[in-house]
């Protein structure tokens, strides 16, 4: 919303001319942008994303016929190992206290 709209229709608890702030945020946070710098990695999202990607690749290999039934013994654990390794690598800076 623009300032004109918020001033024309103030919230019931707000005086005219004051800027509107969301009720669930006690203080306004500065705007985040790509130029602001590096943000923390959400390790859970990374682990599940890597696992899902690995399972999709497994499915594609099986459906295309590139891997048969005998190859599943070594193919199925790869996404879980890769997801665990990605999670450990992403969590290492947090474990060091950075």
The model's confidence at residue 89, banded by pLDDT at 50, 70 and 90, is: very high
**At a CB cut-off of 8 Å and minimum separation 6, what does 6 contact?**
19, 20
Decide if 27 contacts 34 (C-beta within 8 A): no
Q: How many domains does the chain have?
A: 1
Say which residue the tokens 């599940």 belong to: 48
What's the pLDDT score for residue 96?
A: 76
What's the pLDDT score for residue 12?
A: 56
Residue 47 belongs to domain spanning:
3-95
CA atoms of 40 and 28, how far apart (whole Å): 20
Q: What is the pTM assigned to this prediction? A: 0.56
């Amino acid at each position: 919303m623009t300032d004109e709209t918020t001033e024309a229709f103030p919230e019931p608890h707000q005086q005219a001319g004051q800027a509107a702030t969301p009720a669930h945020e006690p203080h306004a946070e500065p705007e985040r942008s790509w130029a602001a710098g590096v943000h923390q990695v959400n390790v859970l999202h990374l682990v599940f994303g890597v696992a899902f990607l690995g399972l999709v690749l497994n499915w594609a290999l099986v459906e295309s016929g590139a891997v048969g039934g005998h190859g599943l013994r070594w193919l199925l654990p790869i996404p879980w190992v890769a997801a665990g390794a990605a999670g450990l690598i992403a969590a290492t800076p947090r474990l060091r206290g950075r």
